[in-house]
Chains A and B, each alone.
Chain A
Amino acid sequence: MSVMISIRSIAVLAFKNLSRKKVRTVLSITGIIIGVMLYGGMSYATSSLKTRVTDVIGFLQDAMLIQNKDSIAPVFSIVDLKIIDDIDMYFPDIVRDFSPQIWLLNSSQKQPTIVLGVYLSKEISMRTFLANLKVNGELPSDNSTGWIILGSAIAESFRKKGYDIGDNLTLLNLGQTRSLRIIGNFTTGTFYDWLVIISIYDAWKLSPNLEQESEVSVIEIRLRDPTYSDEIQSFLDSRYSGKYELVYNIEVAEMVGNTINTVDKFAMVIGLLALIIGSLGVANTMFINITERKQEIGILKATGWTNGEAALEILMEALIMGLIGSVIGAGLGYFATIFAVKIFSINMTIYFSAIVFINSISAGLITSTVAVLIPVWKVMTLVPIKAIRE
C-alpha cells in the first residue's frame, strides 16, 4: 500500500467540509478579504507613492536652488540675476545649467494656481526640463510670450471650469493681469503637475515686486561636480553677506522619501492589524468546526488517519479560506485604491504591482495559517476514543 499522502484528495475533502457551513465559511473568507484588501490597498498606495517619490528624486537629482535665506517658499524669494555671472566667473565650467525661475501665485478664475515662469532659451536648463516632460500640444519658440502650459492635475480643474487647450486664461498676481493662451499640458507624476508654466517674460509682467529682467524668484543650478556645492555656498555667503542660500532639492526629496517610508510602515502595521482581525475569523471558524466535528475527526483517526493527516485536513481548510480571501482581497485592494484616489481626487497614479499582489496573498495565507495553528494542534492531540465517546 502506498504511503504517499494525496494532498489533492485531502484538499478536495477540506473544500467539501467547508461547504458544510456555507455562511460561516463565507463570513470567514469575507474577513480575510477585508483584511487583505486593506493590507493590499495600503501597499498599493504606498508603493505608488514611493514610485512617485523616486521619480521626483530622479527628476531633482543634482538640482539645487539659490534663494533668499529667509524666504519660506520660492514665491517669496527674490534673487538677483547677476549671481549667474558671478558664479560663472568664479567657478568656470563647474555649473552645468542655470535656470532662473519666477514663482508666483495666480488668484484669478477662482482657482489659486502656482505659476512657474521660465526661460525657453536653449542655453537654459528649463528647456531640457520641458523637453523631458510629456507635453501635449505645441512647444513655444524661444523668448515667445503669451502662452501657458498646464500641469495635468491643474488642467483637470481648469477643464471643469471650461478652459481647455486653445482657450485664453487670465492670470492675476499682485494686481497685475495677463491673458495667456493655453497651448498644452504635461504630466510628470510629481508635484509639478499642480503647476502652470509660462514664459519668464510674462511672469515679470505679473510680478511688480521684481525688477524686470534682473530679478527672479530662484535660480536652479545643476553642478557638473556636486562636491563644489559647499564652496558655492561659502562664495554666496561672503559675496552677498549671507543673503542667499543653496537649497538641495535632493535632500528635500529624500526627506519626503523617508516620510513616505514611515507612512509605509504605519500603513503596513494598520494593514497587518486588519489582516490579523480577519484571520481571527478563520481561527474562530476552525475552532467551532473542530469542536462540532470532534467525533468525526475521532472516527477519521480510528479508521487510520494519522495525527498529521487529520491536522493537514484542518490546515487545508484554513488555507483554502485564506487563499480565496487573499486572492479576492489582493485584487479588490488594487481596485479599491484606484477608486479611493478617484473619489477623493488625489493626484496619484496607482500602479499595479505583481510584488504587492503576491505579498498581499502571501500575507493573507501566512496569517490564516498562523491563526489556525492552535486548532491544528488541538486536532493533532485529539485522542480518538475520547472524541468518539464525547
Chain B
Amino acid sequence: MIVEAIDVHKVYLLGKTEIYALRGVNLSIDRGDFVCIMGPSGAGKSTLLHILGALDTPTKGTVKFMNEILNNKNDRFLARLRREKIGFIFQFFYLIPTLTAKENVMLPLIPIKPRWLERRAEELLELVGLKKRMSHKPKELSAGEQQRVAIARALINNPEVIIADEPTGNLDSDNGRQIIDILSRIVRDENKAVIIATHNMDVAKRTDRIVYLKDGAIVKVDELK
C-alpha cells in the first residue's frame, strides 16, 4: 500500500466555530491505482488530497505512507517525504515566470541538485511532449503546455504517488484530455499511483475508481476497472 487513510477526521477552527472538513474517511491507494475524488465544492476533496500528500495532518485518525504513520511527524520529515515520494499538480500551475520550462521542472530538487537532474528534466519534458519547448519561459507557453510542465515537475523526483488537485480545471477540454492521457500513461507505463480531484465527470470516467465525497465523508465508490 502506498498511502492509506484510516478514519481520518479534519476539523478547522474559524474563530470559535469548528468546521468539519473530513469525517471518518477511509481510503487506500496502491501502486498502479488511478483514483478520482469527486464532490461539490466544500466536500473536502482538497483537504483529503493535502492529508494524503503529507501537506496537512488529520485532527483524528491515521495516515500511513508506505506503512509509516505520518501523524506527529515534523515539518522536515514531511518535506523530505514530499521531495522523495510525492508529486503535486495544481489547478493553477504556479510556474516561476523567470525560469525556463526545464528549470521549472527541476525546481523541486534545486536545493539538492542531483547530477541526473537536468537529464531527467529533459526526459520528462519529452514525455509530456515539450521537448522543443524546454527553453521557453511560461509566458511563451499555452495553458495546456504550462500544465504539462507542471506534470513534468511533479514527476521529477520519480514519486510513488502523484496528487493532482483539479489539474484540468483551468484548461479547455482538448488540453484537459491531453493531461489525463499523460496521467493515464504514467499509471499504465510506470505503475505510479495517481489521485486526482475534479468536478469533471469526463475526466473522472477516465480513472479506475471514483470516490464521491459529500460533507467530508465518502458517500460512494465506483470501481470502473
Chain A residues within CB distance 8 Å of chain B: 1-6, 9-10, 13, 16-17, 19-20, 295-296, 299-309, 312, 384-385, 388
Chain B residues within CB distance 8 Å of chain A: 50, 53, 55-56, 75-76, 79-80, 82-84, 86-88, 90, 92, 94, 96-99, 103, 107-114, 153-154, 157
The residues of A that contact B94 with a CB separation of less than 8 Å are 295-296, 299, 388
Q: Is the interface of A mostly helix, strand, loop or mixed?
A: helix
- Residue contact B96 to A296, C-beta cutoff 8 Å: yes
Q: How far is the CB of A310 from chain B (nearest CB, A)?
A: 9
Count A-B contacts at CB 8 Å: 82
Interchain CA distance A2-B83 in the complex, whole Å:
12
Interchain CA distance A226-B76 in the complex, whole Å:
70
Interchain CA distance A308-B80 in the complex, whole Å:
12
Interchain CA distance A118-B99 in the complex, whole Å:
76
- Residue contact B97 to A304, C-beta cutoff 8 Å: no
Contact among B55, B75, B86 for A306, CB-based, below 8 A: B75
Q: How far is the CB of A100 from chain B (nearest CB, A)?
A: 77
Contact among B75, B98, B112 for A307, CB-based, below 8 A: B75
Interchain CA distance A110-B169 in the complex, whole Å:
88
Q: How far is the CB of B195 from chain A (nearest CB, A)?
A: 14
Q: Residue of B at shortest CB range from A380?
A: B75
Interchain CA distance A86-B9 in the complex, whole Å:
106
Interchain CA distance A302-B110 in the complex, whole Å:
14
Q: How far is the CB of B84 from chain A (nearest CB, A)?
A: 6
Contacts A16-B99, A388-B90; is A304 near B108 (CB within 8 Å)?
yes
Q: Identify which of A10, A301, A385 gathers the most chain B CB atoms within 10 Å of its CB.
A: A385
Query: A9-B113, A302-B88 provided; 7 other pairs, C-beta below 8 A?
Result: A10-B110, A20-B97, A299-B90, A301-B79, A305-B79, A306-B76, A385-B50
The residues of B that contact A309 with a CB separation of less than 8 Å are 111
The residues of B that contact A13 with a CB separation of less than 8 Å are 99, 107, 110
The residues of A that contact B84 with a CB separation of less than 8 Å are 1, 304
Interchain CA distance A6-B94 in the complex, whole Å:
23
- Residue contact B112 to A3, C-beta cutoff 8 Å: yes
Q: How far is the CB of A314 from chain B (nearest CB, A)?
A: 13
Interchain CA distance A295-B90 in the complex, whole Å:
11
Q: Residue of B at shortest CB range from A313?
A: B111
Q: Residue of A at shortest CB range from B117?
A: A9
Contact among B55, B76, B110 for A9, CB-based, below 8 A: B110
